[in-house]
Structure 1
Amino acid sequence: MAVEKVTVKEALQRASFRYREAGLEQPREEAEILLAHLLGWDRLRLYLEGERELPPEAAAAFQEAQERRSRGEPLAYITGKKEFYGLEFKVTPAVLIPRPETEFLVDAVLEWVGKRGAPRGEGLVLGDLGTGSGNLVVTLSCLLPLARCWAIDISPEALQVARENAARHKVEHRICWRRGDYFKALEKDQPPPRFDVIVSNPPYIPGDALDCLPQTVRGYEPLLALDGGGDGLEGYRRLLEDLPRHLRSPGLVVLEVGDGQMEAVERLCRERGIFKSLAFRQDYAGRARVLEGLV
């Protein structure tokens, strides 16, 4: 099938219109990101060379990518990458796409480490439970080069993506990798590691709410990383059950929490009876989304 000749500027205009018709919130920005990715350019170059004719293969690829995006496939899965805390991460349908609010978990860890007088992670043992793409553990490994980090995930496909991201940012050798369900992945490690910091973004969507998620989420992102069980709290229960055996004192636990679930997760934490204090952070929309527990 022949592809109509089109300039960079015209291609962007048409894609923006198509995305707007499809109901996307940022049609022009997404069109620019996608075309720049396909051409291997930065977005500024799209404007500098707007009158340049697109090569036929690029025009065809751009058209195909537009169709995928218009059907609801997330942009990050089409480009295969997503930025998190200033770093670029590979993403595939085997892992959740990193969200901006998850960056607050990194902030919480860095503040706590700084107060301990170990800004480079001196003597720190950190665990990322449910690592997914590795965005948390890789970012923290980059920012805390003297920390020893562990990454755990039940999905072998997710672990592979995380390891590739760690290799990309040259920290793979500083991370211990384990496959399994939270702390149960450490049963063969004798003695099992004890952590100063635990970070986790457990699945927190209640089972009966999965069908209510946007198509861009429920149709593409991994169910394993979304489904939090009947009330959305099963992941937190499993994590907290074995926490006392694996966390040193003083220690820090930082959890991402679903919108409207902070009170319930805080109650679960208090029932464990191990936390000296609990606090929360709000996301960019002012919603309580990150729970910090000190032991």
Structure 2
Amino acid sequence: MTGAEALSHAVARLRQAGIPDAPRDARRLLAHVLNIDPGRLTLILPDPVADAVLPVLDIALDRRVAREPVSHITGRRAFYGRDFIVTPDVLDPRPETETLIAAALACPFSRVLDLGTGSGCILLTLLAERSDAAGLGTDLSAAALDVARANAGALGVMRAEFTQSDWFADVSGVYDLIVSNPPYIAECEMATLAPELSHEPQGALTDGADGLSAYRAIALGVQGHLAEGGRLLVEIGASQAADVRRIFAEVGLETVAIHPDLDGRDRVVEARRCPGGR
């Protein structure tokens, strides 16, 4: 069987199972089992593939048919131009979160705190882009922190530290930039989500309540750790901008901007601790 025939087989399996964007996923899975970069796949499609490849490909296809995310099958996910290790212990880095990265990089910073760091993709990307900055990532999950540390090592970002903490509980010091992509999906919305999300840590997706609990917790602790004039950037659900703005205003934070993602949906709230503010 040639690479092209193997790819055709993979696309057919995924389409029959109703997998969205089956050709894209088939290419990624075939490249994975061939241990090549997906960008090189076209070059080898005319060539025969080893007999041993096909059973491995079928196992990967079985997992995708069961709606396991491609990233969990390959163990990698691209984010802001870099590859990150992912496991079922962390959320997949998503393109929407790159909105937060772009907003954070628009102004200088030297010390970053990433609350609920997960894979570490936000903190490590910011530090990789700003070689003079250092930062701390926190997470309640020890398993997630192991993934974040592995990503720091793989990317060679040694200016990142990680600690287990429930929001600010075990955090000390003051930061000029605090970022977070917290669990913001309301419990009542969980049943409507794509089946792939059942493979991700549920505590990183939902607060089990109205989707705003994390913002309240962040607001309660932020003033003790955000420098005067410092910025707080949080990812939000598309309908949460007004609620998060109100929660932050109640503790004296000024909302600087609501940043939309590439689809035009509200995605990031940027707030600031005004000099002399409480």
TM surpasses 0.5? yes
Q: Structure 1: which amino acid aligns with 2:249?
A: R
Superimposed CA distance per residue, residues 187-216 of structure 1 (whole angstroms, 9 cap, x where no aligned partner) = xxxxx2101000000001112222221111
Deviation, 1:106, is 0.9
Cα gap change, 1:207 to 1:35, in 2 (>3 Å):
same
The DSSP-based 3-state class of the residue aligned with 2:107 is helix
Is structure 2 residue 178 aligned with structure 1 residue 198?
yes
Is structure 2 residue 71 aligned with structure 1 residue 76?
yes
Deviation, 1:279, is 1.2
* Contact persistence 2:136–2:161 (CA under 8 A): yes
* Contact persistence 1:128–1:151 (CA under 8 A): yes
Any residues of structure 2 matched to 1:222-237 within 5 Å, and which? Answer: 222-237=201-216
Superimposed CA distance per residue, residues 42-78 of structure 1 (whole angstroms, 9 cap, x where no aligned partner) = 3354333223222122111101100110110000100
Partner of 1:287: 265
* Contact persistence 1:129–1:153 (CA under 8 A): yes
Partner of 1:212: 192
* Contact persistence 2:215–2:244 (CA under 8 A): yes
Gaps of 5+ in 1: 1-5, 114-120, 187-191
The DSSP-based 3-state class of the residue aligned with 2:250 is helix
Is structure 2 residue 15 aligned with structure 1 residue 20?
yes
Is structure 2 residue 36 aligned with structure 1 residue 58?
no
1:229 & 1:53 partners in 2: Cα distance? 50
Q: Structure 1: which amino acid aligns with 2:199?
A: Y
Is structure 2 residue 164 aligned with structure 1 residue 179?
yes
The DSSP-based 3-state class of the residue aligned with 2:36 is coil
Give the 4+ runs in structure 1 shifted more than 4 A: none
Cα gap change, 1:63 to 1:168, in 2 (>3 Å):
same
* Contact persistence 1:153–1:180 (CA under 8 A): yes
1:176 & 1:50 partners in 2: Cα distance? 43
Deviation, 1:130, is 0.3
Gaps of 5+ in 2: 274-278
More displaced 10-residue stretch of structure 1: 143-152 or 45-54: 45-54
The DSSP-based 3-state class of the residue aligned with 1:52 is coil
Deviation, 1:17, is 1.7
Matched residues, percent identical? Answer: 38
Cα gap change, 1:259 to 1:142, in 2 (>3 Å):
same
* Contact persistence 2:245–2:255 (CA under 8 A): no
Cα gap change, 1:265 to 1:229, in 2 (>3 Å):
farther
TM-score, normalised relative to structure 2: 0.94
Partner of 1:256: 235
Count residues in correspondence: 273
